[in-house]
Amino acid sequence: MVRKETQIPYFEEQNISTVIGDLEKELSGVVKGMDEVIFAAGSGGDTSDQRTVDIDENGAKSLIDASVDSNVEKFVMLSSMGTDQPDSIPSLKQYLKSKKVADEYLKSSGLTYSIVKPGMLTNDEGKSEIQAKERLNKSGKIPRNDVAKVIVQSLNSDILKNKEVEILEGQTEIGLALTNI
């Protein structure tokens, strides 16, 4: 799903079909005919609290509702570490609260889901090696590339079926790390 028509050619060049949609608008038909949905949107660090709620909470809930209505088989949510203690990071407080509300909404939706909770995202080159547990009880960072690989693997297997997982950079190959959850 893309918001702007100008984004479509990039995906068409890679043989990827797209639909136009906006998390701040009606989404009822946007996932019709799809088997799997990944919610990887984020409001960004410089948005207002209200825009964070609109995108990370209400936009996610709207896409979850559309997925339920369209009988989507699996929904993967990109969330964040720290949602269990949003007050611990004042600058991310509203973001973490909104992510937690969306995570809980997904868990109660009846959809088969995976919730992926990375630490601080970096643009470092991924190594395809991570640490992964339902609760790591520590903070750290992880390359975006490795997060994307975790999300894709969670689509294609039952490893993270109806589970949440926290992930950080590590020394265990992604598939093995996820199998051990």
Identify the pLDDT of residue 156: 78
Burial zone of 170 (CB within 10 Å; 0-12 exposed, 13-18 middle, 19+ buried): middle
For 126, the token pair is: 């991924």
- Residues of the chain with pLDDT below 70 are 45, 157
CA distance 9 to 90: 39
Identify the pLDDT of residue 45: 67
Q: Is 10 a catalytic residue?
A: no
E strand or H helix at 50:
helix 49-52
Identify the pLDDT of residue 3: 87
Place of tokens 């019709």: 32
Identify the pLDDT of residue 158: 83
For 75, the token pair is: 């929904």
Of 10, 95, 105, 113, the catalytic one is 95
What is the Cβ-side half-sphere exposure of residue 44, based on CA atoms within 13 angstroms?
A: 4
Identify the pLDDT of residue 79: 97
Identify the pLDDT of residue 131: 97
Positive or negative, the CA dihedral 174, 166, 81, 25 is positive
Identify the pLDDT of residue 46: 77
User: Burial code of 37-58, b = ≥16 C-beta within 10 A, e = fewer?
Assistant: bbbeebbeeebeeeebbbbbbb
CA distance 147 to 174: 10
CA distance 48 to 139: 25
